[in-house]
């Protein structure tokens, strides 16, 4: 089973749902959402609509609290945990050992088991505030990245976004304990 954890990069939700739909054709998926992803309505859509789509695709209730996510450590075996989309917030917390959401709890639990986590990054501060934390996770065992790049270098000079088209190939590699290359998307 694959874990699919969505965090609050709301502009990436439609692309992430397209990825989820494809993954669900091949894998049993355990859906997980950070509390912000689960509850917040934004200009990109209503939380309830996104939740329904995710649960319809996965045919499972969304893991959305720290106690819900805790069993991923001792009892729920995930072959890989895909964090898609992954905010700078969630990525930075994980890099710094902070566990205060369902998403960070799921990631912590998966890493406790020495199993792979695949990060599909989308953050406006990838080349500023989150940069040191991205660097930390690049060196962390069992953490892999979907290839990423600057998405709008002149309008949003610090923004980094992964290539959502490459999630499936990156997952195949992560399942074998490998980082897909090149990690910097072109
Ligand atoms: C409309 C909207 C879009 C956002 N897009 C992003 C984004 O693309 N990347 C990001 O890192 N944060 C983004 N944020 C900020 C996160 O939602 C915020 O940091 C939140 O605390 C993330 O919590 P989580 O990581 O627990 O889901 C956005 C917020 C809003 C309201």
Q: pLDDT digit string (tens) for 134-181? A: 999 999 999 999 999 999 999 999 999 999 999 999 999 999 999 999
Q: Is 123 in the pocket of ligand 1 (CB under 6 A)?
A: yes
Residues of the chain falling short of pLDDT 70:
none
* Domains present along the chain, CATH in parentheses: 2-175 (3.40.50.1950)
Q: Is 7 in the pocket of ligand 1 (CB under 6 A)?
A: yes
Q: Is 126 in the pocket of ligand 1 (CB under 6 A)?
A: no
Atom 16 in ligand 1: residue holding the nearest Cα = 8
Task: Say what the pLDDT of residue 39 is.
Answer: 98
- Please state the pTM of the whole predicted model: 0.98
Task: Say what the pLDDT of residue 61 is.
Answer: 98
Burial class of residue 135 (count of CB atoms within 10 Å of its CB; 0-12, 13-18, 19+): exposed
Q: Is 152 in the pocket of ligand 1 (CB under 6 A)?
A: no
Task: Say what the pLDDT of residue 175 is.
Answer: 98
**53 token code pair:** 């789509």
DSSP annotation of 140 reads: S
Q: Which atom of ligand 1 is nearest to the CA of 42?
A: 1
Task: Say what the pLDDT of residue 95 is.
Answer: 98
Cis ω on the peptide bond leading into residue 115 (within 30° of 0)?
no
């Amino acid at each position: 089973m694959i874990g699919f954890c969505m965090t609050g990069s709301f502009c990436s939700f439609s692309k992430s749902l397209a990825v989820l739909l494809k993954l669900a054709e091949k894998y049993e998926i355990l859906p997980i959402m950070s509390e912000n992803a689960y509850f917040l309505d934004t200009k990109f859509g209503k939380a309830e609509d996104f939740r329904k789509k995710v649960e319809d695709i996965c045919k499972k209730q969304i893991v959305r609290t720290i106690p819900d996510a805790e069993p991923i450590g001792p009892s729920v075996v995930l072959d890989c945990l895909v964090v898609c989309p992954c905010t700078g917030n969630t990525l930075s917390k994980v890099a710094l050992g902070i566990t205060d959401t369902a998403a960070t709890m799921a990631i912590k639990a998966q890493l406790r088991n020495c199993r792979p986590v695949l990060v599909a990054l989308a953050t406006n501060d990838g080349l500023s505030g989150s940069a040191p934390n991205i660097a930390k996770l690049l060196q962390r065992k069992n953490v892999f990245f979907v290839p990423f790049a600057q998405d709008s270098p002149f309008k949003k000079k610090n923004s980094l976004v992964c290539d959502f088209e490459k999630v499936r190939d990156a997952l195949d590699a992560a399942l074998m304990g490998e980082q897909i290359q090149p990690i910097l998307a072109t």
